[in-house]
Amino acid sequence: MPTKHALLSASSSERWIRCPPSARLSECYEDRGSNYAAEGTDAHSLCEYKLKTALGIEAEDPTENLSYYNQEMDDCAVGYATYVLEQLEAAKESCSDPVVLIEQRVDFSPWVEQGFGTADCIIIADGILQITDFKYGLGVLVSAKENPQMMCYALGAIELFDDLYDIDTVRDHGKSQRNIKKHGKTARFMV
């Protein structure tokens, strides 16, 4: 899983769009991380493993190296992989060979200087680009609708793949298994 972050990263785009000086100001402070961030990183690693395994892609099981692993995290990772597989099966209804990219680095620097990020999962099928972003945080429901992070991923993915696949529709999906339990919904947005 990638660890390098851009100054104007997709994951911090909500902040730097609302308050542009915050990007440079945050450079003055050491990124100490948090237990919540570490837990989210563990959950993303597990999601990547579960999805690759479900797709028949060889992957190393990270479980023994995850500091925050528990049954809830495992259930969420399985739910994420299941959701992506459902999206893939739906894509196969109109496309015989959809492309699935896991932990795909995308570069949106034509729009944001040195902007890049890593999309959790991208599915490309007959002009449709689908981006699924896994969210593990609990408490605040993050909507895919007009989500700056997902829009940055979409720009980067279009930049990378539009010449190859003639993309005319973008669908962003936010998957938060923990918040589904709390709020009862998965966020989706189609551009």
Give residue 188's pLDDT: 42
Give residue 74's pLDDT: 96
Give residue 183's pLDDT: 45
- For 54, residues 6+ apart whose C-beta sits below 8 A from its C-beta are 81, 82, 84, 85
3 state DSSP class of 191: coil
Strands lying side by side in the sheet with 116-125 = 99-107, 116-125, 128-134, 169-175, 187-190
Give residue 190's pLDDT: 40
pLDDT in 10s for each residue of the chain, 191 residues: 555 667 888 888 888 889 988 888 888 888 777 888 899 999 999 999 999 999 999 999 999 999 999 999 999 999 999 999 999 999 999 899 999 999 999 999 999 988 999 999 999 998 899 999 898 877 666 666 788 888 999 999 999 998 888 899 988 877 665 655 544 544 443 43
Give residue 186's pLDDT: 47
Give residue 119's pLDDT: 94
Give residue 191's pLDDT: 37
Do the bridges between strand 116-125 and strand 99-107 make them parallel or antiparallel, or are there none, so unpaired?
A: antiparallel
Give residue 68's pLDDT: 96
Q: What are the structure tokens assigned to 47, written together?
A: 């999601």
Q: Could you tell me how many residues make up the chain?
A: 191
Q: What CA–CA distance (Å, rounded) separates 57 from 109? A: 30
Q: What CA–CA distance (Å, rounded) separates 148 from 16? A: 10
State the CB neighbour count (10 A cutoff) for residue 169: 12
Give the residue among 111, 104, 148 at the shortest CA–CA distance from 129.
104
Q: How many CA atoms lie within 13 A of 93 on its CB side?
A: 6
Give residue 172's pLDDT: 82
Residues pairing with 130 in the sheet: 123, 171
Do the bridges between strand 116-125 and strand 187-190 make them parallel or antiparallel, or are there none, so unpaired?
A: unpaired
Give residue 31's pLDDT: 73
Give the residue among 91, 121, 87 at the shortest CA–CA distance from 104.
121
Q: What CA–CA distance (Å, rounded) separates 40 from 32? A: 15
0.75 exceeded by pTM:
yes
Give residue 187's pLDDT: 43
User: Letter for the amino acid at 87?
Assistant: Q
Per DSSP, helices labelled H in 5-141 are 13-18, 21-26, 35-54, 71-92
Give residue 120's pLDDT: 95
